[in-house]
């Protein structure tokens, strides 16, 4: 899904191949934490890897929508997400 790049919206760098990279790792307590580094502060915990990824994707979409509403810069995207191995 592509997001609008025109209409006065600024574009940030940092997306990998036109997708927001999700970094994910397991904490010592067993929880998973997922982060979208190109969107500062966008991170979420989950009991499973899939739950953490789903939560951080939803949060990233809310942050992008909020930035669009306020005319702020968003990452340049051709697709939405790429989950690291």
Question: In the structure encoding, which two tokens stand for residue 55, read together?
Answer: 């939560």
pLDDT at site 17: 56
In the block, tokens 């025109």 appear at 6
Domain 11-83, CATH class in plain words: alpha beta
Q: What is the mean pLDDT of the chain?
A: 80
DSSP 26-76: E-TTS-EEEE-TTSTT-EEEESSHHHHHHHHHHHHHHHHHHHHHTT--EE-
pLDDT tens-digit profile of 17-56?
567 889 999 999 999 999 999 899 999 999 999 999 999 9
Domain boundaries, the chain: 11-83
In percent, the amount of the chain with pLDDT more than 70 equals: 72
């Amino acid at each position: 899904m592509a997001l609008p790049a025109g209409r006065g919206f600024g574009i940030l760098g940092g997306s990998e191949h036109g997708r927001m990279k999700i970094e994910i790792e397991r904490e010592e307590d067993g929880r998973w934490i997922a982060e979208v580094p190109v969107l500062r502060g966008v991170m979420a915990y989950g009991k499973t890897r899939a739950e953490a990824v789903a939560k951080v994707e939803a949060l990233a979409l809310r942050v992008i929508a909020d930035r669009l509403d306020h005319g702020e810069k968003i990452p340049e995207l051709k697709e939405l997400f790429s989950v690291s191995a």
